[in-house]
Amino acid sequence: MVNDGPGQAAPDRLEAVRELLNTWLIPNDTRTPEDRFDAYATQQHLAPPERDQIRRLRDELRIAVERPDDAPGILNGWIERLDVRPAVGPDGIGYQHRAGTVGQLVVACLDAVAAGRWRRLKACPDCRWVFYDHTRNAGKRWCLMTAGGPGGRSCGSIAKVRAHRRRTRGE
């Protein structure tokens, strides 16, 4: 089981990016990293040539989420690689590309950056589950503070208990 409790979903097309990022996870029950990308690719009906590129995008976007200072370089690399370009449309500026699903995912990231939402996409430091921070000050740190159901893991509470025990032992 994974901590996908209420309030984890990202807005608009950024949710598709979050879902992709969470195809790599550390399940609560085993605590052993799992790569579930193949099942995702099958469910999304991704063509074999697209699969490798989207898996690579997933891996690099996870780095961008976990190390925000690396995000500009990673996203700029994908913009160049896929030749994503701004385009003026009837509702404002958007992006055009000829890169299929991987291009759509990159554009969702660019839209999130432009809207100031990218920084709210975070990875839990404990289980590394990617969640969207809906808090007013964007200060959420863990996926959940309380268990998200039977078998759920409350990473925030666990981290606070660990810190308390370290302090009381004098470490």
Residues 53-88: tens digit of each pLDDT: 999 999 999 999 999 999 999 999 999 999 999 999
Predicted local confidence at residue 1, as pLDDT: 42
Predicted local confidence at residue 167, as pLDDT: 74
Encoding tokens for residue 124? 């839990």
Neighbours of 127 (CB within 10 A): 19
Please give the mean pLDDT across all residues of the chain: 87
Average pLDDT over residues 92-102: 95
Q: Where are the chain's structural domains?
A: 14-169
Residues 18-31: tens digit of each pLDDT: 999 999 988 777 78
Q: In CATH, what is the architecture of 14-169? A: Orthogonal Bundle (1.10)
Give the DSSP letter of residue 41: H
Residue 12, Ramachandran bin (φ over 0: left; ψ between -120 and 50: alpha; else beta):
left
CB-side exposure of 119: number of CA atoms within 13 Å? 9
More confident residue, 76 or 124: 76
